[in-house]
Chain A
């Protein structure tokens, strides 16, 4: 029988992700973040589909280059592991293309959709390794993008299509390179019974070297 991820395992994942993917974690709060939140309120008033300042601080994690800022809320170990895997992917995307990634993410909606699809796919791989299941409906894959990213229906459709490609590989145990591999390997080392046995078997066969 599978066990829930413990706090100690989540802390080990956090340490390993920070070490392997070279980023630091902070908690949102203080005058700088208040100023950013006020900017979001202004952008929202101008008609952009971005979160309110309050939501930005309290509900959204934000990655700026190699800084991951988490909202000041209590997260369960599973939520923390999935969130950190998602944000670590943005850090990896930045390291892979440091000059263009931040500009393209801000400037082009379809690029933003692709970057987010990549991060969602990494967290999805971890979720699948924990439960052995994918969302029942393909439309659920990019559901997190509907609010707060200023994306149009076609951008979300692109993210859904790219996520379906990634999910097809994940369902076969073929894991893309990136933070998901770090997270799954750490959970396997710290608490192997938290992972789904069937998913583990597929990962062993089709992603050799992860475990």
Chain B
């Protein structure tokens, strides 16, 4: 029977420490990253709650409870941990470690909970964010909107413009009018007043179909 080598000899376990070691203080970089992550989580959660209230998906009371759940526990746990840590003796230090761990675990959980809620909210919205009702315009006709923004009628018969678009008068000394594009097509667009074409009696400034 082979002899047990010294390497395989069981090693006596060291005796457990009578007191719990103090938690390791993270580096400033880690601390700042944690704080930024926590702040982003809270802001994201609050923005999500505000959006859901705005859409009528949850009530204001629910949003308030959600906000309290987001904002209160971590600071409370941290404060408790500091109070307990200030007390002398191993029991205080042990409780401090437990509180700090709970605080970190809560912050970690919160990040994923807010992310998950955001994904669920987006998924719900993808199923229920309809476009406005059709305007029943002629597809690919153009016009000037009542506020003076050039628009095109989409294939779903809704007036549409390429954002960001502001009224022509805000861009400079321009007006929204029937004019000719650099490629020779007549359309409604922002143009200097001198480049505007006379309105025909039939369209009277309402819309013009693209010839192409």
Using CB atoms and an 8 Å cutoff, list the residues of chain A in contact with chain B: 89, 92-93, 96-97, 99-100, 102-104, 106-108, 110-111, 114-115, 117-118, 121, 134, 137-138, 154-155, 157-159, 161-169, 171-172, 174-178, 205-209
Contacts and interface: CB of A to CB of B under 8 A. Distances in A.
B140 A161 contact: yes
Interface of B: 51, 54, 122, 125-126, 129, 131, 139-140, 142, 150, 152, 154-156, 158, 160-166, 168, 170-174, 179-183, 185, 187-192, 195, 210, 212
CB-based closest 5 A-B pairs: A118-B162, A117-B162, A168-B189, A169-B190, A154-B155
A103 B126 contact: yes
B155 A177 contact: no
Contacts of B125: 103
A161 B186 CA distance: 11
Contact of B182 (A102, A171, A205): A171
B2 to A, nearest CB: 48
A162 B189 CA distance: 9
B156 A103 contact: no
B137 to A, nearest CB: 12
Contact of A174 (B161, B164, B168, B180): B168
B171 A107 contact: no
A159 B129 CA distance: 22
Nearest to B212: A138
A169 B189 contact: yes
Contacts of A167: 181-182
Given A165-B189, A176-B166, A209-B172, 4 more contacts: A103-B122, A165-B142, A174-B191, A206-B172
A203 B129 CA distance: 39
Contacts of A104: 129, 131
A161 B182 CA distance: 13
B191 A164 contact: no
A115 B160 CA distance: 10
Nearest to B51: A99
Contacts of B180: 168
A109 to B, nearest CB: 9
A158 B165 contact: no
Nearest to A107: B126
A89 B164 contact: yes
A91 B30 CA distance: 29
A106 B92 CA distance: 53
A114 B54 contact: no
Contacts of A163: 162
Contacts of B152: 158, 161-162, 165
A114 B160 contact: yes
Given A118-B165, A162-B160, A207-B171, A172 B191 contact: yes
A98 B165 CA distance: 16
A168 B187 contact: yes
Contacts of A169: 150, 168, 171, 174, 189-191
A157 B158 CA distance: 14
Given A111-B131, A171-B182, A157 B155 contact: yes
Contacts of B174: 169, 172, 174, 206
Contacts of B158: 110
Nearest to B126: A107
Nearest to A164: B181
